[in-house]
Amino acid sequence: MTASQPRGSVCLVGGGPGDPDLMTVRARQRLADADVVVVDRLAPTDGLAGLAPRAELVDVGKTPGHHAVPQEQINQILVAHALAGRRVVRLKGGDPYVLGRGGEEVEACRAAGVTVEVVPGVTSAFSVPAAAGIPVTHRGLARSVTVLTGHDPLDPDRLEALVRLGGTLVVLMGVTRLAGLADGLLAAGMDPATPVAAVERGWSPTQRTTSAHLASIARACADRGVTSPAVLVVGAVAALADDPTLCDAPAVLLEVATLARPSG
């Protein structure tokens, strides 16, 4: 058993990719102790009232292009509740230190003299592809993985470096910029036949995978109405999806999947 969270403190909790069953034991303990839970849109909220029965819930969720509660205000909310003597849980989707701005919130708490703890979570960068049957590394296909944010466009030099590096690219929050990213990778020399998969709403009953070549993935996702939240996987491993919709039915993509899957 771990010690309970002290009063007048903040705990950044990674809630995993959305399924409450994938939260850690410590995450559940911190929620049970909480006086206030400041929750993100992608955090696991099903059953939250039971996990944090005494807590006031504060929704600061952001949607693409619409940040109703700016990050600076979120920082202030955390600090204000903690300085008032409350045990605050900042519940985030995935892991707070993987493109979750957790570092900024820790800095704000420490600057205000607030005790702060971080409870890691299962990052959606790896777990959402896994939910679709895609290993982000696979012997003979990919020996490295790079995680990117889709919020910020990459300059040509960085795109060329990523293409030279090889391995798997995992892009979070990248649906709205998918066309630009695909065009940039193609211009940087990536093979147009590179498999790509977009996994929507991982670990939920409405999970869906859309697969295509790099050259056609943007059109395929637009045609199917792919929306956030979705994780994009670029590289040979994307062909290993359990149940992809092969929008351009590329034979090479099917061959990679057949060769890479273990026999039996």
Angle of helix 71-83 relative to helix 102-111, nearest 10 degrees, comes to 40
Of 62, 183, 191, 248, catalytic: 62
Of 23, 33, 35, 40, catalytic: 40
Give catalytic status of residue 19 as yes or no.
no
Q: Mapping DSSP to helix (H, G, I), strand (E, B) and coil, where does residue 83 land? A: helix
In the chain, what is the straight-line distance between the N-terminal and C-terminal CA atoms, in Å? 42
Give catalytic status of residue 173 as yes or no.
yes
Torsion-angle region of 193 (φ positive above 0: left; ψ -120 to 50: alpha; else: beta): alpha
Q: Do the Cβ atoms of 101 and 71 come closer than 8 Å? A: yes
Any idea how long the chain is? 264
Of 33, 92, 95, 173, catalytic: 173
Give catalytic status of residue 62 as yes or no.
yes
What radius of gyration, in Å, describes the C-alpha atoms of the chain? 20
- Catalytically active residues are 40, 62, 173
